[in-house]
Amino acid sequence: MKNELDEYRSRDGLSQGELAEAVGVSRQTINAIERERYDPSLELAFKLAAQFDCAVEELFDPALDDAA
């Protein structure tokens, strides 16, 4: 899933490790999300949005197919 996590994290001056600690996951999880190799759980997506005081939709773009 496309995301803006690295931009938000950089904007706030946080390392991957610092962000991971703040939301209760490993640094590897943050890295995998930023590299679009892992989609966060709904709970984690909300924690990340709360960390940056933004809507989940601002961080993540699921690029849903309109053909459904």
Helix residue spans in 1-68 (DSSP H)? 5-11, 16-23, 27-34, 42-51, 56-59
pLDDT at 62: 80
The CATH architecture to which 2-55 belongs is: Orthogonal Bundle (1.10)
Model's pTM, two decimal places? 0.89
pLDDT at 65: 54
pLDDT of 5-59, one tens digit each?
999 999 999 999 999 999 999 999 999 999 999 999 999 999 999 999 999 999 9
Q: Where are the domains of the chain?
A: 2-55
